[in-house]
Structure 1
Amino acid sequence: MLVLVGLVLCLAPADALTAFPPKFQVGKMNGDMVVKCNTSEQQVTWTLNGELDPMIEVTNEGQTLTIHGLDLPATGNYSCWAGTVLLDTTYVVVSSTREERLNVSCQAESYRGSFRCSWTVPYPAAFRTRLTHSDGSLGEWVPVASHRGRFSASFTDPSFCPFAEELHPLQLQLEGLTDTSYLNFSIHFFVRDIVRPDPPQQLTVQRRGEQLHLAWAPPASWSLPKSYFALLYRLQYELLNGTQVDKYVEGAEETQLQESARRVRISCQDPYANPAWSPWSAWQDVNAAQPRRLRVH
């Protein structure tokens, strides 16, 4: 499933966040912001990104720091100290100021209530995300993995029932930070709309006289029982002249081929919901299925 979401986000400088901070505040551009130090100490000193005297306009009143005219140079990690002892930190960012588009793709392997979402951004950022379950409860914030601008997170909805009709969509909430900006948005979807099975497994080919007998098993990750969670299988075989032929099988895990084939592979889908086909299995060489002939001396 692909979701297009309208966002506004400033581009981040080179030194970007690598993890979502535990504490942050979002302010308006050119507005004032109050940052508080969570401590019983009455007198503290403040640093911004490790600098004791940054070139920004602030008012320091003990445990409280007021930032005047918040702008991009004033964003970052504010830390309060008692001497050399770190007391508290707050990451300060501004509201987004430029519209962006973000693509979020979610996929489930079965109807077990687990799925994975991924997205990409062209700038350094840190994200966190959580799920609103089908019973309305909020899930815990889920860590987000990142690699070269691609982000992903895995979820499990313990309240999801694979045998019940989905009456309400799931809601995924996502928060993101760059060094200067903040975004917050949600997407809604039904699990039935994002299901894409894994490839079928254990494909075997046996030659029986002039016919080829093919057998396979459902994906190991697919929901059970098979009588309830049926699959439609798509066999593709390549003839000796290179022509590829498709054959569809439903309600069975074996079939016969009358034609001579060079190789075969298989895919599957849920025939009653989203029409997404699984990836193909690896090609199975039919020559390997031919029985060995004993050499007589």
Structure 2
Amino acid sequence: MSRMSSALSAICIVFLGIMRVSAVDTFPKKFVAVQMNSDVTLHCDTTDQDVTWQYDSDELEASEDIRLEGNKLILKRIEEEQAGNYTCWRNNEIVDYTYVLLDMTSHITDLTINCTAETFNCTFNISCNMNQPAFNYFRLRNKRDNSNWVMPSEDGAFHLTHSTNPYAEEAKQLEVIGEAVSSSDRYFKISHNFYLRDIIKPACPEVSVNKRKVNLAPPPTWAKPTSYYPLDHEIQCKNLDDGKEKPCDLDHDNKVPKGTSELRVRCRDSLLLSQWSDWTPWHNVHKNRRNNRKEGKRMGRKETAKNGKKRDS
């Protein structure tokens, strides 16, 4: 019996810890967001009317601002110190909980959700960023497509799925909903509406350089066919003599101007004039030319030696 009692006690402690989840590092599974000086009604998930309510382990009693109506708790004119975790109990066992969070949405005016997409393809995600000082935990969801809530990945961004048809005109904007909670039981909610075409930012183009000739290819994530999704490219060069950076144009053979030591490229959608991609790393043009000359000389020496051996034989 003692072992069974210990096991039941351990289960009770674990269950209590789950029910009394903190808003410090996660979203409570059950919460209500309330503005200051508003009323709120909490419901205990039981048909039993004979329950008691606690706030931070203190049992609540009826008063002018607290009404106890069976499995309902009514809080009048919520004040700052009343935010937190409310639990309902029956026979000294916890039944349910609800976090009361102060809704600060109307007080936060400088927050925006920033989103980009590398491609029109629906098989790729939208990447969004949202942050606000004094708030600890954030989540986003694509409401238009009824997607699940997404937490930030290791890089700090939120990666949202979408169902936009890349070959059809967008009829309805995406609606991204963001929420955040703080360790002081604060909450806010924000929404951001946009068309996918408005947030396109391609990945870096693929670049190779051989004998000053530049070969460009779309990013691997870019939508196909490229004739339907053309890209503009911008090339920046470094001068071999002084290292100065400047825009440069390719000639009719796709070669960079003589005297170029390095180049980098970025791209954007030609039709939408989307955001420019990030720049590629610098590609060393002068080194390629030097290596090509060395390789040519080496191959020439091999050919000469080979011909010499043939004459000797």
Q: TM-score, normalised by structure 1?
A: 0.78
Question: In structure 2, which of residues 179, 190, 193 is the aligned counterpart of residue 188 of structure 1?
Answer: 193
- Equivalent-residue separation in structure 1 for 2:32 and 2:99 (angstroms): 6
Per mean C-alpha deviation after superposition, the further-off stretch among 23-32 and 223-232 is: 23-32
1:155 corresponds to 2:163: no
Query: What corresponds to 2:75 in structure 1?
Result: 67
1:173 pairs, out of 177, 198, 221, with 177
Contact 1:128 1:141 in 2 (8 A): no
Aligned CA-pair RMSD: 3.0
The corresponding residue for 2:245 is: 244
Task: Select the residue among 20, 26, 32 that pairs with 1:25.
Answer: 32
* Equivalent residue number for residue 87 of structure 1: 95
The answer for the alignment partner of 2:261 in structure 1 is 262
Kindly indicate which of the two structures has a greater share of residues assigned to strand.
1
Structure 2 unaligned regions, length at least 5? 1-21, 306-313
Is 2:262–2:284's contact at 8 Å kept on the other side of the alignment?
yes
Deviations 1:186-232 (A, max 9, x none): 2211111110111112x22222xxxx112232111111111111111
Deviation of 1:81 after TM superposition, in Å, equals 3.0
Letter in 1 for 2:151: V
104, 107, 124: which is aligned to 2:116? Answer: 107
Cα deviation digits, residues 166-202 of structure 1 (max 9, x gap): 243222223333344433332211111110111112x
Asked whether the equivalents of residues 115 and 155 of structure 1 are also in contact (C-alpha less than 8 Å), the reply is: yes
Q: Secondary structure at the match of 1:145?
A: coil
Contact 1:37 1:87 in 2 (8 A): yes
> Helix, strand or coil for the counterpart of 2:81?
helix
Count of residue correspondences: 267
Letter in 1 for 2:79: D
Higher share of residues assigned helix: 2
2:133 is matched with which residue? 122
CA drift at 1:121: 0.4
| Aligned counterpart, 2:43 | 36
- CA-CA distance at 1:163 after TM superposition: 1.4
Q: Would the aligned equivalents of 1:119 and 1:151 in 2 still touch at CA under 8 Å?
A: no
Partner Cα distance (2:96, 2:249) in 1: 62
| In structure 2, distance between residues paired with 1:170 and 1:182 | 23
**In structure 1, what residue type is equivalent to 2:109?**
E
8 A contact 2:53–2:60 mirrored in 1: no
Output the CA distance in 2 between the equivalents of 1:274 and 1:140.
29
User: Which amino acid letter does the alignment assign opposite residue 86 of structure 2?
Assistant: Y
Cα pair 1:235 1:248 within 8 Å, conserved:
yes
Partner residue, 2:5: none
Trace 1:129-148 onto structure 2 (pairs within 5 A): 129-133=140-144, 138-145=145-152
Counterpart contact for 2:52–2:59, Cα < 8 Å:
no
Contact map agreement 1:233 1:248 (CA 8 A) in 2: no
Code of the aligned partner of 1:30: N
**Normalising to structure 2: TM-score of the pair?**
0.74
